Amino acid sequence: MLPRDRIEKIFALSTAGLSARAIAKQLGHAPQTISDYLNGRKTPGLRAVSRPDLFTDIFAGYCRQRFAEDPHLRPSALFDEITELGFKGSRSTFYRGLTRRLLSPPDHRQPRTQEDPRQDPFEMPRLSMHAPRHAPVLPRSVAPITGETLISYLTRLAQANHLTLTEVLTVLPSWFSTKINNHDDRAQHHTLIPATTQALHALAHLARTTTTSLARALPAFGTTDAHSPVRATTACRRCTARRGIHQPVPIHLPTHHKICTRHGIWLSDADHPHLDLAACPEIITAQHRANRLLRRYTPQQLTLAHQAAARAIPSWPTSPAAIPLHWRHRLLILQTTNHRNNIPTDQDDYMHAATYPDAITLAAAILHAPNSHATQQDLLAKSPCPSRYRQL
């Protein structure tokens, strides 16, 4: 928008008989701008009305976080999540928003190579719908871990029976090879759905376990809630050790599930070290509080509120008396206690764990606020740059 005195000058020159082109040349503006004012397409004092961007910072932030938490997250599933949160745009607006903000899952950023087995399931060879006629049974059964990825379970099953993964896949329906090559257990492609029940029975038979326990634990069989947002992590090492498993077990957990409350372990995102929370029981209590919030709110609402809250937590307490309850105090305790386990102190996970009780308290306040969406906008506007946390 041009300043008022400049607009008055445009009209004065026009009244004096100058053309729009001549005025533009004299005042140093585009001829189109001058004719827009002279022809009333622009009104002095009013900004041009642009179409509102439906893919707001809140949705962009939500998408960025979700891609970080779940590297295999499909944009179509993410579209469903943000639609549930109130995104009013179309699918193409959503994809345009992702492109404009350079948002994509890390898994999709690398160009696929010749050797990469991932393909469009349409191009896959026709699936064999039948298990081998004389289906073998393995001598050692292996119990699945809740949320475990299919490839992890099959690898553990193979190892327990002194076989390779390829050998195990050979005696299973081709559904399993296709599913593993797709790298996304939760995507239930329509070409795979008809053979899912048969695949489940074949694996239960081979592994000498029940279809119920497999279906309940492994998201690959699609019986768990496919619409709740999940993140990639590894199972609590103490939970798996109780079952005699001493290797990391990759799993998908609901996004709000941050802590093994039984063992007080902070379950960082995949490839990050887990943290022992025993010295800060209030962090474990906060997980129970987050679970209770799910009685009233959807997992997407809680995730979004938690994100907004995490950005808005004050960096320093307002009163010295509050220091023992403050997240920086917790941060120091966590770093000290976990450093003994050879976990480097520069991990962001410490900060996420230390701020968690404050973030959940604030998230609850956001969710309980009468106009929750406006409150999040407000917090987002006030939130400082997240990089300030890295300066610790």
Among 34, 157, 200, 260, binds Zn ion (CB under 5 A): 260
In contact, 108 and 67? CB cutoff 8 Å: no
Q: Minimum Å distance from CB 232 to Zn ion?
A: 17
When the beta carbons of 77 and 260 are compared against Zn ion, the nearer one is 260
When the beta carbons of 263 and 373 are compared against Zn ion, the nearer one is 263
- 263 is a site residue for Zn ion (CB under 5 A): yes
In contact, 334 and 357? CB cutoff 8 Å: no
Among 239, 270, 365, 369, binds Zn ion (CB under 5 A): 239
When the beta carbons of 108 and 238 are compared against Zn ion, the nearer one is 238
When the beta carbons of 287 and 300 are compared against Zn ion, the nearer one is 287
- 238 is a site residue for Zn ion (CB under 5 A): yes
Q: Minimum Å distance from CB 235 to Zn ion?
A: 8
- 146 is a site residue for Zn ion (CB under 5 A): no
Q: Is 317 helix (H, G, I), strand (E, B) or coil?
A: coil
Query: How far is 97 from 77, CA to CA, in rounded Å?
Result: 15
- 27 is a site residue for Zn ion (CB under 5 A): no
Which position's Cβ is nearest Zn ion? 236
In contact, 262 and 295? CB cutoff 8 Å: no
Query: How far is 170 from 95, CA to CA, in rounded Å?
Result: 39
Query: How far is 353 from 152, CA to CA, in rounded Å?
Result: 27
Q: Minimum Å distance from CB 237 to Zn ion?
A: 8
Contacts of 97 (CB under 8 A, 6+ apart): 53, 54, 55, 59, 60, 89, 103
When the beta carbons of 238 and 373 are compared against Zn ion, the nearer one is 238
Segment contacting Zn ion (CB under 5 A): 156-164, 258-266, 325-333, 373-381? Answer: 258-266
Q: Minimum Å distance from CB 290 to Zn ion?
A: 17
Q: Which of 66, 49, 58, 54 is nearest to 95 (CA)?
A: 54
In contact, 93 and 82? CB cutoff 8 Å: no
Q: Which residue has the tokens 């609590």?
A: 236
Segment contacting Zn ion (CB under 5 A): 126-134, 262-270, 321-329, 337-345? Answer: 262-270
In contact, 7 and 44? CB cutoff 8 Å: yes
Segment contacting Zn ion (CB under 5 A): 8-16, 134-142, 255-263, 343-351? Answer: 255-263
Strand partners, 250: 234
H or E segment at 291?
helix 281-293
When the beta carbons of 73 and 260 are compared against Zn ion, the nearer one is 260
How big is the site for Zn ion, counted in residues (CB under 5 A)? Answer: 6
When the beta carbons of 253 and 366 are compared against Zn ion, the nearer one is 253
Tokens of 152: 């992890």
Among 172, 236, 251, 353, binds Zn ion (CB under 5 A): 236
Q: Minimum Å distance from CB 144 to Zn ion?
A: 16
Q: Is 98 helix (H, G, I), strand (E, B) or coil?
A: helix
When the beta carbons of 71 and 250 are compared against Zn ion, the nearer one is 250
Q: Which residue has the tokens 């289906």?
A: 135
Contact residues toward Zn ion (CB under 5 A) are 236, 238-239, 260, 262-263
